[in-house]
Amino acid sequence: MNRNRATCEQCHGDTPHESSIINEHNVKVACQTCHIPIYAKVNATQLHWDWSTAGKMKDGEPYIEHDEDGNATYKSIKGSFTWGKNLKPDYCWFNGTADHYFIGDKVDTLSVIKMNTLNGEYADRDSKIIPIKIHTARQIYDCANSMIIQPKLFSEAKGGGGYWKDFDWNIAAKMGMKAVDEPYSGNYCFVNTVMYWPINHMVSTADKAVSCIECHTRDNGRLASLNDFYMPGRNYSAGIDNIGILLIIFSFAGVTLHGLVRIVFYRKNNQGGNHE
């Protein structure tokens, strides 16, 4: 549950804007969606973690590599990392509840394993569009039992089975799964996973909020991935558009024809009067 947090509305009210149209967005759009246009403004945020590359050594010892900002891009004990700064959020519907992967859950590896799912949809009265960070990873997995492995990572010294000392995934998997009372087949591999993190911090000043055109556009708008509702400026019907174009053409044609007829009769009437 995510329903006990302090909300923007509790301090700023449900109608904080001078424009009533903008205030109406509050029904289905969380304040953060417009007021957090980018995240990771100062410090980089981790976007991907690949455990499968862990275990490399230099001169027989574990090592760490950093990027120019000092972020660890590789650690022998944890694998590879990808970082990002000044990022546009992704977006989803969220009603304040979420599902999570639990130790022992069996999963289908034909698709990316969701470590958590943020619940919500347009038709849900409690759902609003929120900004999120999508974090991806490759994690150790039991190929036969179809479940994420909880490996033993820490031990005081070598020989204790902890991966961070012994760098043996098989032993770490065996001991880790025994500790959580789950089976281990002896066969491990690595599988792609994803997590969805709601973004609630790093609010920008009003002058830097998301502009209308960033969402209400047909070309790669911020909310392009949410297509279960109608949005003015983004959604359209080709048939209705064509009918509208034809109506405009017919209107102009009718006005033009009417004007021409008026001109013709006017001239005829004038010519007749001059003859008399």
pLDDT at residue number 88: 97
pLDDT at residue number 39: 97
Q: Kindly list the domain boundaries of the chain, sorted by start residue.
A: 8-149+184-214, 237-276
Residue 271 scores a pLDDT above 80: no
Residue 238 scores a pLDDT above 90: no
DSSP, collapsed to helix, strand or coil, labels residue 247 as: helix
Residue 75 scores a pLDDT above 80: yes
pLDDT at residue number 158: 93
Residue 32 scores a pLDDT above 60: yes
Share of the chain above pLDDT 90, in %: 79
How confident is the model over 254-266, as a mean pLDDT?
86
pLDDT at residue number 103: 94
Distance (Å, whole) CA 43 – CA 83: 10
How confident is the model over 190-203, as a mean pLDDT?
95
Residue 244 scores a pLDDT above 90: no
pTM surpassing 0.75?
Answer: yes
pLDDT tens-digit series, residues 112-137: 999 999 999 999 999 999 999 999 99
Residue 2 scores a pLDDT above 90: no
How confident is the model over 22-26, as a mean pLDDT?
94
Distance (Å, whole) CA 154 – CA 166: 10
pLDDT at residue number 18: 92
Residue 263 scores a pLDDT above 90: no
Residue 241 scores a pLDDT above 90: no
pLDDT at residue number 117: 95
How confident is the model over 22-37, as a mean pLDDT?
95
Residues 6 or more apart in contact with residue 92 via CB below 8 angstroms: 118, 120, 129, 130, 132, 196, 226
Distance (Å, whole) CA 181 – CA 172: 14
How confident is the model over 133-149, as a mean pLDDT?
97
pLDDT at residue number 273: 59
Residue predicted with more confidence, 268 or 189: 189
**For the chain, first and last CA: distance in Å?**
93
Local confidence band at 111 (pLDDT 50, 70, 90 cut-offs): confident
pLDDT at residue number 159: 94
Distance (Å, whole) CA 198 – CA 127: 13
Most confident of 5-9, 138-142, 217-221: 138-142
Closest CA to 197 of 276, 100, 272: 100
> Within its chain, how far is the Cα of 116 from the centroid?
13
